[in-house]
Copies of this chain bind each other. A is one copy, B any other.
């Protein structure tokens, strides 16, 4: 992996890397924040999965997460949201919710998507193996994300509790089997088999398998996507049925933007730091 860009931030290093991804079969960029503590030895990492249309740059530049990460000694690992490059299929109408910028953190099984759209494997396995081999990381991980990335974070953590000590999300798509974004993306990437969809649905996974993971979810009440796409009550009901450790906070007046994320990212990083320290 090669450094594309590096900037000092809150005493730490904000770095953008490029590498050839074997799981995605293309060249990828991702961003990392290494806190000042990483100069002294390995630090735990919070993975951040971004939402539709984003790259690794949105969270890096807009969330204000580096300040808290520098205080707490947390690395931030921020992948892109889909495979990229000229050879990578996009939606034929360049829709914002399918194809480039909209990988949905699944392993696609349907042509033409299956050649590159393997974001689940990329985020779960390839990227951690790469950064833990190359950077001063302790191997302890937590995961968070926004919207499509909140969905990704919940699904990855619920299916792989041995890999993450805690999970959080802002405005996650909690029940993609029951919303238009989910129908479109899961239908395209996975075909018509609803059993395949269910493996990428946080609410269904939680209802069926339960979870011992600590979960924190923030949802703005003025979010335009709340009722039709996000449906936090589906996750809350699943957590209640499963007896899971979910804290769902409805935040009056907040929308779907990075202004919302910036307002509460400190709470999420402190939540993860606590669990990273005690595991």
Q: Do B64 and A259 touch across chains, with their CB atoms under 8 A apart? A: no
Copies in the complex: 2
What's the minimum C-beta distance from A256 to chain B, rounded to whole angstroms?
A: 9
Do A8 and B62 contact each other (CB < 8 Å), given the known contacts A67-B262, A262-B67? no
A232 CA / B8 CA spacing, docked (Å)? 20
Q: Do B67 and A8 touch across chains, with their CB atoms under 8 A apart? A: no
Cβ of A53 under 8 Å from chain B: no
Residue of B nearest to A9 (CB): B259
Q: Do B61 and A64 touch across chains, with their CB atoms under 8 A apart? A: no
The answer, among B8, B10, B61, B255, for a CB contact under 8 Å with A258, is B61
A66 CA / B10 CA spacing, docked (Å)? 17
Size of interface on A: residues with Cβ below 8 Å to B: 22
The answer, among B8, B254, B260, B262, for a CB contact under 8 Å with A253, is B8
Interface string of A1-44 (1 = CB under 8 A from B): 00000011111001000000000000000000000000000000
Q: Do A255 and B7 touch across chains, with their CB atoms under 8 A apart? A: yes
A66 CA / B67 CA spacing, docked (Å)? 14
Collect the chain B residues with CB atoms within 8 Å of residue A258's CB. Answer: 61
